[in-house]
Amino acid sequence: MSTVPEVVVTGLGATTPLGGDVPSTWRAALAGESGARPFENDWAERYEIGVSFGATIKVTPDQVLTRPEIKRMDPSAQYALIATREAWADAGAPEVDGERLGAVVSSGIGGIWTTLDAWDTLREKGGRRVLPMTVPMLMPNSPVAYVSLELGARAGAHALVSACASGAEAIGYGVEMIRSGRADVVVAGGTEATIHPMPIAAFAASRTLSLRNDDPTGASRPYDVDRDGFVIGEGAGVVVLESAAHAAARGARVYARIGGVGLSADGYHITSPEPSGDGQVRAMRAALADSGVAATDVVHVNAHATSTVVGDLIEARSIRGVLGDDADHVALSATKSMTGHLLGGAGALETIFTVLAVHERQAPPTINVENPDPELVLDLVRGTPRALPEGQIAAVNNSFGFGGHNVALVVTSA
Amino acid sequence: MAHSEQEILAGLAEIVSEETGLPTDAVLPEKSFTDDLDIDSLSMMTIVTLAEEKFEVRIPDDEVKNLATVGDAVSFIAGAQA
């Protein structure tokens, strides 16, 4: 009798605005630090952009990678490779046949630095100066291609794109690769490197960014009454997923299980979430059903909560709608208050936070919530971390993206 | 202003080093781009593009296949300078 494999997390890697790896990022998150800072450039004045800060990466790739690696990879791929190397080492570099090893690493936007640099070169110097590596650097599958090359992952290399849900969708697809029998081990995550004046001007034009230029660390404030938009971030998160049997056979340390994957689409508006939260509710319900976890077992939710006026509350109501009275014992965390919004990297980094919350039994805090929105109908973890109960527990990580993409992942204790 | 062959070799070595991670002193005239320096065609075209800019010369695509060694490239660039 064939059974569907259970999927466990055995390795974690990240490079983020809070730190160059997972331990430093997690420590900073538990301490309630902000990764937002003023830009060290003159973009705001030179290009008349209304936003002069963001959550830039803490440890730049030139401190970690070789010169040739920097030159032949877009920053989005550099971040992914850095996170992958950490995750792979953290998992104990599992011995696995390359044909049984998969890679799923997404970027919401792709190699935009490369695209725009090449366009500048073309206009300033002409077509003969555009470098031949431009296409392999700008293509949105470039990060996962480099991850596949790095590890010899040959079961499949995929880059699912769903804007700010991309990182979570990648992990969900990685889970499915193992469940369907295509792979025993999958490296999965998301990455983004979009802190460039053009996308910042474009996000600012859509009125989605916080304009709190005089207070960068206080700008990302999900569920606070004075929230005014998200803080753009950058970085990558990568997890090593493994069938429980494969992990057990090699005696691997298991952080947690990914018990359920839920996906839906709003089919409503290109940027605005559907106001009733129907799509979000369906994604969470599907993930819970997939995991077999009852609402009463959910003790923690890492919210998508980007600090926008409309989006935060729709999600809070959706969570209440799914969990009902059981939502009363859920510790809700909005970690973008500290990391900023990593776009395609967000869902992956927040999955790592959710896995660590379950593994270490503590929910990270939400910072900058001075006056909680009176319409918030959930128990927000504010200021300092919150202990989670012993025994079998479950947590949900939500990720939603422009275009109406909804992804919910259920993480359960090992 | 024309560059001497010594200057071209030094400049080319810098480009190759940036592209491959090899030390500049490994980029010697007798070295083959493919066999000794392990440079694939995409990297070779990157080196050609950067060399054209650095030395203000045109290296036609038809010519690139004749540039087997670092010395071949230095000679071609020296001769192609205006």
Q: If you compute the radius of gyration of chain A from its CA atoms, what whole number of angstroms results?
A: 20
Domains of chain A: 7-249 (3.40.47.10), 261-413 (3.40.47.10)
Mutation target vs A (from B49, B63, B64; most A CBs, 10 A cutoff): B49
Dist. CA B26–CA B24, nearest whole Å = 5
Residue A2 pLDDT class (50, 70, 90 cuts): low
* Chain A residues whose beta carbon lies within 8 Å of the beta carbon of residue B42: 132-133, 136
pTM over 0.95: yes
Which of B20, B45, B50 is facing A68, going by the closest CB pair? B20
User: Which of A130, A143, A122, A241 lies closest to A192 in space, CA to CA?
Assistant: A143
A168 backbone dihedrals φ, ψ, rounded to 5°: -70, -40
pLDDT at A1 exceeding the cut of 60: no
Indicate the SS3 state at residue A392: coil
In chain B, the residue whose alpha carbon lies closest to the alpha carbon of A73 is B19
Distance from chain centroid for Cα B30: 12
pLDDT at residue B82 in the model: 67
Dist. CA B81–CA A275, nearest whole Å = 66
Query: Which residues in chain B (10-69) have CB-CB distances under 8 A to chain A?
Result: 18-21, 42, 45-46, 49-50, 52-53
Reported ipTM: the value is 0.91
Question: Span B9-35, mean pLDDT?
Answer: 96
pLDDT at residue A3 in the model: 87
pLDDT in tens, A221-269: 999 999 999 999 999 999 999 999 999 999 999 999 999 999 999 999 9
pLDDT in tens, B47-70: 999 999 999 999 999 999 999 999
User: Which of A112, A114, A113, A61 lies closest to A85 in space, CA to CA?
Assistant: A61
Average pLDDT, chain A: 97
Q: What is the per-residue DSSP string for A2-16?
A: --PPPEEEEEEEEE-
Across the interface, whether the CB atoms of B46 and A133 are under 8 A apart is answered yes
Among candidate residues A246, A304, A359, A405, the one labeled active-site is A304
pLDDT at residue A354 in the model: 98
Q: Is A164 a catalytic residue?
A: yes
pLDDT in tens, A145-194: 999 999 999 999 999 999 999 999 999 999 999 999 999 999 999 999 99
A152 backbone dihedrals φ, ψ, rounded to 5°: 65, 35
Q: What is the per-residue DSSP string for A242-305?
A: EEHHHHHHTT----EEEEEEEEEE--S-SSSPPTT-HHHHHHHHHHHHHHT--GGGEEEEE---
pLDDT in tens, A355-389: 999 999 999 999 999 999 999 999 999 989 999 99
A contact set with B (CB within 8 A): 66-68, 71, 125, 128-133, 136
- The answer for residues whose C-beta is within 8 angstroms of residue A194's C-beta and 6 or more apart is A108, A109, A112, A200, A232, A234, A343
Query: Which residues is A233 bridged to in the sheet?
Result: A55
